[in-house]
Chain A
Amino acid sequence: MSEDQDLVKAVLAKTPGAFERLVTRHQNLVWHLVYRVVQHPEDARELCQDVFFRVHERLHQYRFESALSTWIGRVAFSVASRHMQKKRLPMVEPADDDEAGSPWESVSDGFDLEAACADGEVMQLLSVAIDKLPPLQRTLVTLYHLEEMPVGEIASVTGLPEGTVKNYLFRARSRLRQQLEIRMGVAA
C-alpha cells in the first residue's frame, strides 16, 4: 500500500515519469480485463487508453481504501461494461443459468496431464473455449487465474457478491473441462 501511496502522490505532484510508471505497473491488469470483456483488440486498445485517462483525471478521488490495482480495475471494468452496454452486448448470457449437461459424467481414463499440456491443439481448443465463455465469466476467470486476484478483490472490482463470483468461477471451469473432455473423449 505504501508503494501505491508514493506513486499516487508522485502522480498528483506531476513528478516527471510518475504517471508512466503507474501505467506500466497496471497496464497488464487493465489490458487483460478490458480485452477479456470486449474480445476486440482495436476496441480494447482504445478503451485501455480511456481507462488511464480516466484514472489520471480522477486519481485525486482515490482514498487508499483498497489497493490501487483494485481501484484501477474498477475503473477498467466500468469502462468496459459501459462499452458493452453501448454496443448492446450482454455481459451474462441466458445460457449462464443452465448447466449444459453434466461435465463430470464422462471422464476418460488414461488422461496424461503433461502430454495434454504440451499438445498445442489441446491448449488451442481450451483457448477457443475460454474466448467463447460469456464476457463476465471470461473476465472473472482471468482476474482470478491470470491476475491472481483474490475473490474479495474481484467482488470489489466487479461489484458482484463474493458468492456470485465463486459460482461463476466454478461454472466457467466446469464448462471448460466439459469442452476438454468432449475433445479428449474423441481422441481417446
Chain B
Amino acid sequence: MNNQDMDRKGLEQQARLQAQAELAERQQQPASGDPALDSYRLVIRALKQPPAAQLPSDFAARVAARVGFSEEPSSPEDWLMTGLILVLAVTGLFYIRPVMAGIISQFHFQLPSLPWPLLGAAAVSVAVAWALDRGALSRHHGR
C-alpha cells in the first residue's frame, strides 16, 4: 500500500467519523468512548455555539424605523416647510432684484450682456432644489 492509498483511506475514515459524530450529536447519544469519534463530537458542539458578540436587542426596531422613515409620505408639516422655503426664496428674489439691478448696471460696461436676472433666478432655484434634496436625503438615511 503506497502513501497515496494510506492518505485516501485516512481521509475516508475521517469523513466517516465526522458523519457519525454529527449523527450522534443530532440524536443526543451518550459518549461513545471512542476518543476519535468523541473529539469530533466536541468540535461539533463548539461549532454550534453562537459568537459571543451579539447584535443590540433593539436592532430590528432601529433598522425598521430607519427604513420606515424614508417610506413615510410627506407630512403636512413637510409640505408647509417646503412651501415656506419657496415663498421666502421668491420674495427674497423679488426684493433683491432692484438692488442687484443697480449693482449690475454699474458693471454694465464691463459685463457681457447676459440675462442676469434670469441667471440669478436659475441659481436660486438650483440652490433651493439642492437644499430640499439634501433634506430629503438626510431624512431617508436618518443620519
Contact = CB atoms under 8 A, between A and B. Distances in A.
Interface of A: 14, 17, 19-20, 23-24, 27-28, 31-32, 35-36, 41, 44-45, 48-49, 52-53, 56, 102-104, 107-114, 116-117, 122-123, 126-127, 130, 141-142, 144-146, 170, 173-174, 176-177, 180-181, 184
A180 B39 contact: yes
A181 B51 CA distance: 22
Interface in B67-117: 67-68, 71
B137 interface: no
Interface string B27-40: 00001100110111
Given A14-B71, A31-B54, A173-B43, A111 B60 contact: no
A130 B46 contact: yes
Given A45-B55, A48-B55, A111-B35, A27 B60 contact: yes
B42 A35 contact: no
Contacts of B60: 20, 23-24, 27
Main secondary structure, interface of A, reads helix
Nearest to A18: B64
Majority SS at the chain B contact face: helix
A173 B38 CA distance: 13
B51 A112 contact: no
Interface of B: 10, 13-15, 17-18, 31-32, 35-36, 38-56, 59-61, 63-64, 66-68, 71
Nearest to A116: B42
Given A114-B31, A116-B39, 14 more contacts: A20-B63, A23-B59, A36-B51, A48-B55, A107-B36, A107-B39, A109-B35, A110-B35, A111-B35, A112-B31, A116-B38, A144-B47, A146-B48, A173-B47
Contacts of B17: 104
A177 B38 CA distance: 10
Contact of B67 (A35, A52, A110, A180): A52
A27 B59 contact: yes
Top 4 nearest A-B pairs by Cβ distance?
A: A111-B35, A20-B64, A126-B46, A145-B47
Contact of A19 (B14, B45, B50, B68): B68
B44 A111 contact: no
Contact of B46 (A41, A45, A127): A127
Nearest to A109: B35
B15 A170 contact: yes
B42 A103 contact: no
A146 B52 CA distance: 13
Contacts of B38: 111-113, 116
B50 A146 contact: yes
A22 B79 CA distance: 32
